[in-house]
Amino acid sequence: MEIQNAIPRRSFHSAIPSIRIPKTNLFSKLPQIHSPKWASLKIHYSSSSYSHTLISKRNLQCRNSVDKVEYNKGVSDKPKAKIRRKNLAVFVSGGGSNFRSIYEATLNGSVHGGVVVLVTNKHDCGGAEYAGDKSIPVIVFPGKKDSKEVFSTEDLVTALRSYKVDFILLAGYLKLIPVELVRAYPKSILNIHPSLLPAFGGKGYYGMKVHEAVIASGARYSGPTIHYVDEQYDTGRILAQRVVPVLAKDTAQELASRVLHEEHKLYVDVAAALCEERITWREDGVPLIQSKENPNEYW
């Protein structure tokens, strides 16, 4: 299976043609992960105490990534039908299980958007194969060092804009996002990390290494974090977290399975909020998600 890993610079004078993987039978669904029962806690933030989820609309003013808005104007009161479907780009380096969860959610209507392009640094990874099977365009970035044609960050930004991408979701993408891309998409790039940041984050903390470090530390809780991407590893503003217990006899694999189960649900919830314009920014720079069921609540 061949994937184009560069777009000739001369082609950017007009709309960039889709970079597609031919449909093949190379991909088969991964076996479903069965994880043991566990307790999962959803963290709510409040101006008074952790036992309440309500944040007063009267006292706080928030802004989204474009305009300053007040809570009492009902950021997400408008019906979904009046909100434009958002175009999503997903970045992966491996099997792409979070990518698949998000893609399936766009098909069943849970996420008011669509995955219009996949970006990967590994042309033969499971996520790329899945995208090819679903006729989703794939871009390889960065390209191979020995490649004759160099696909630059500028080319990537141009390509993403040609697909009219609104938001970028990193789902197991192991490369540092270039500064130029972060600046081209301010407050529009999210990443998921398999620990409760800021603990066990930063360069070198990825995959099973994270879970091994959590267990070795004696931490009693772990879980996924979704945060905005800045110019460093895992240092952007935290948007959402889920908590799972670390059991006394856990192996790294068992903890990873438990955390991954929560990742799939959390990323879909956050992607839904993103596409429905339910994310607001507190005056101190903390992002909050407005509840879909009750616009008076934020988490």
pLDDT per residue over 32-50, tens digit each?
434 443 333 344 433 333 3
pLDDT at 6: 41
Which structure tokens are listed for 263? 């990742």
Residue with more model confidence, 21 or 171: 171
* Range with the poorest average pLDDT among 17-21, 125-129, 163-167: 17-21
Instruction: Say yes or no to pLDDT of 282 above 90.
Output: yes
Lowest mean pLDDT among 135-139, 274-278, 293-297: 293-297
| pLDDT value at residue 147 | 66
Which ranges in the chain belong to alpha helices (H)?
97-108, 126-133, 153-162, 179-184, 208-217, 252-275
Q: Which residues of 145-181 are buried (b: 16+ CB within 10 A; e: fewer)?
A: eeeeeebeeebbbbbbebbebbbbbbbbbeeebbeeb
Whether pLDDT at 138 is above 70: yes
pLDDT at 151: 84
**Where residue 78 falls among pLDDT bands split at 50, 70, 90?**
low
Residue ranges per structural domain of the chain:
78-274
Query: What mean pLDDT do residues 128-140 have?
Result: 97
Residues with a catalytic annotation lie at: 193
Give first-to-last CA distance, the chain, whole Å.
Answer: 43
Q: pLDDT tens across 231-276, in order?
A: 989 999 999 999 999 999 999 999 999 999 999 999 999 999 999 9
Nearest one of 57, 47, 79, 38 to 277, comparing CA atoms: 79
pLDDT, position 80? 58
In a 13 Å sphere around the CA of 105, the CA atoms on its Cβ side amount to 22
* Strand-pair partners of 140: 120
Three-state DSSP at 45 gives coil
Tell me the HSE value of 175 on the side-chain side, using a 13 A CA sphere. Answer: 17
pLDDT reading at 132 higher than 50: yes
Q: pLDDT-derived band of residue 26, with 50, 70 and 90 as boundaries?
A: very low
Q: Which has the higher per-residue pLDDT, 136 or 17? A: 136
Q: How confident is the model at residue 198, as a pLDDT?
A: 96
pTM of the model: 0.74
Per-residue pLDDT tens digits for 179-214: 999 999 999 999 999 999 999 999 899 999 999 999
Query: Is a pLDDT exceeding 80 seen at residue 57?
Result: no
CATH of domain 78-274: 3.40.50.170
Residue of higher predicted confidence among 79 and 1? 79
For 19, residues 6+ apart whose C-beta sits below 8 A from its C-beta are 3, 4, 7, 117, 137, 138, 139, 159
**Calpha distance 232→203 (Å, rounded):** 9
Mean pLDDT of 224-232: 96
